[in-house]
Structure 1
Amino acid sequence: MPLFLFIVVKVQNIFDILQEIAPLDLAQSWDNVGLLVGTPEGQVSSILLALDPTTALLAEAEQCNAELIITHHPALFRPLKSLRSDRPTEKFLFAAVQAGLHVIGCHTNLDAACGGVNDVLAQLLALQDAVPLLPDTTEGCGQKTGLGRIGMLSAPLTPECFLEQLDRAISPPWLLEAGPRPDKIHKVAVCGGSCSDVSATALRGGADVFITSEVKHDIARWAEEAGFWLIDAGHFATEYPAMKGLRDVLVKRLDASGLEVSVRCAYQEPPLRLAAGKAC
């Protein structure tokens, strides 16, 4: 009679694989990443990936029998003085603990990793020879890791055509711009999430345009004076595609390790939307 070996997958097994994909030492010093809720010894048969830790996510985790939730934005970022279910910032954590769920955060380590947030964004825009905008000293995937990416389009585009390409790539709910549009776009810099503070680095790198989000007022004015085109494509839109990218990589690593775990990406919508009202 053949013997079938059942491998019990634990949170630690998933964490070890995530360490290969997005090592914790790539995270910024101010960040809070890793196992934030639960225990390394917890058993895992199903994983739910999401950009944001929301209470709606917990209902989806229950539907797909997920024991482990992995989010990009950490569920626990700042120190808490309490853990109450009646406060918005604590609701998710309270409910996750009650449900016995395990929660891992992969934030700036996933931003900087090879194949992470910024590589996905660069790939969606078909950038060639993309390299980190802010290189890290840690080597990975045959190239340096780090925040942002800067690379070349296969052929120059007009600003209008580039905007169409950007819209198709990430379906942003809006596109805001600052600074003058150049005649042609050839070299492009990207940094998913709130990275307008590194706009000057993108300019020094020779970029014709820099795509990021949450562009600050003073940075927008700086772009005017510097003659540099900035595009604010929204925090959600510039990071959300990376969740599918993480799922694809995680599934491959699990398969290679012989670990049978279901991995699903949660569908989420941007928390900000354009306000539209009817005439009074």
Structure 2
Amino acid sequence: MKIKDITDHIEQLAPLHYAQDFDNVGLLVGEYTTQVTGVLITLDCLESVVQEAVEKKCNLIVTFHPIIFSGLKHLKPTDYVRRAVLKAIKHDIAIYATHTALDMAYGGVSYRMAQELKLQNVETLVPERSVIKKLQIHVPETHKNNLQEALFMAGAGQLGNYSECSFSITGTGTFKGNEHSNPALGSPGVREEASEVLLEMTYLPHLERSVLSAMKEHHPYEEVSYSIQTLENEYARIGMGTVGELEQPLASDEFLKLVKTTFNAGVVRSSLSRKRNIHKVALLGGSGSFAIKDAINKGADAYITADLKYHDFFQGENILLCDVGHYESEQFTKNLLQEYISEKFSSFAILCAQTQTNPVNYT
């Protein structure tokens, strides 16, 4: 099994296409063609984690946070980033990062937070807009079914819990090829009329290459008449954060105890909210101050995230803002990835790193 087999599977859950522009995700060190001896999963790829991979004979580290975030002008061991990268190169260990690709994923970081809190009716807190693509194709009526099936196989026509979604309408198409053409119907220089179908279906942009390849391979015309639009719709299966409901409402002090225990937090910083009972809860792993208003607009009684600043807490008059810590909010990512990869590669050892990587100490 090669590294690409593992990363391809991860990208079915968390396509790199949806990572934030500032991020640095994917294979950071190593080659996709390398045979895998073992996989070690970590939240942060420090030098000590690379050493653990060496000792456990794992030549692929799957890390949540990318160890290389900005350009490296030299590889002298002068800081924690370069020391980790040098050690990985020295021992032929590959490093692959998921970060915001997994943040954006349906079933990703914030969904795992909701699972740990046992929330119900969970949905995406901040769904992405302008992500769905709509494909319109004119195809001869005789070839419509074959083309439609090929596009479904390539991943087009999926909407939430539904697949093989499309719309079609029949009409008459006309065309005339020049002297250099090789028309599938009729002859060059003669205008032809054909019974054609306008076939419409949607797809996600990370599938565009395979969808268009299937279209061109299975369409009979030399020149395919098609158009692509980006829809303004929200898409609830790609986005940041989650929101869901506790099975039973809790008093705010009892809820804070639950949060501290669930996330094993050294401390939970919270706002002076007027909320006395907590039922609907929003969550966002990592730095989540940007989504406070989204949590309020969703009607959440509480919002669990990290890295809130002093003035952020003033927004918590009518919502209980809870800062559990950056590491604490994302800690379950290791278990999420281990379970997901192990389900596909059940006969292969997928290990969670035991090295402690939280840089924050509580006294």
- Give 5+ residue unaligned stretches, structure 1: 1-8, 276-280
Which amino acid is the alignment partner of residue 325 of structure 2?
G
Residue of 99, 119, 124 corresponding to 1:127: 119
SS of the residue corresponding to residue 261 of structure 1 reads coil
Structure with the largest fraction of strand = 2
> Aligned partners of 2:261 and 2:159: how far apart in 1?
29
Partner of 1:274: 362
8 Å contact kept, 1:131–1:151: yes
Cα deviations by residue, 1:15-36 (Å, 9 ceiling, x for unpaired): 1111112111221111110000
Distance change (3 Å), C-alpha of 1:57 and 1:141:
farther
* 1:186-225 superposed matches below 5 A: 186-223=279-316
Aligned to 1:160: 253
Q: Which runs of 4+ in 1 moved over 3 A?
A: 137-143
Whole-Å separation in 1 of the counterparts to 2:4 and 2:294: 38
* Aligned counterpart in structure 2 of residue 87 of structure 1, from 79, 88, 98: 79
Instruction: Give 1:261 deviation, angstroms.
Output: 2.5
Relative distance call for 1:141 and 1:79 in structure 2 (3 A) is farther
Q: TM-score, normalised by structure 2?
A: 0.69
Shift of 1:134: 0.9
Return closer, same or farther for 1:262/1:11 CA change in 2, 3 Å cut-off.
Answer: same
Aligned to 1:14: 6
Counterpart of 1:55 in structure 2 is: 47
Taking the TM superposition and a 5 Å limit, the aligned residue runs for 1:90-105 are 90-105=82-97
**Shift in Å at residue 110 of structure 1?**
0.9
Contact 1:11/1:43, CA 8 A, preserved across alignment: yes
Structure 2 residue runs without a partner (length 5+): 133-157, 162-235
Shift in Å, 1:243: 0.8
- State the identity as a percent: 32
Partner of residue 117, structure 1: 109
- Cα RMSD, aligned residues only: 1.7
Larger gyration radius, structure 1 or structure 2: 2
Deviations along 1:62-98, one digit per CA (max 9) or x if unpaired, are 1110010010000111112222212223111111111
Q: What is the CA–CA distance in structure 2 between the aligned matches of 1:97 and 1:140, rounded to whole Å?
A: 42
Q: Does 1:177 align with 2:270?
A: yes
Distance 1:263 1:234, change over 3 A: same
| Aligned residue-pair number | 261
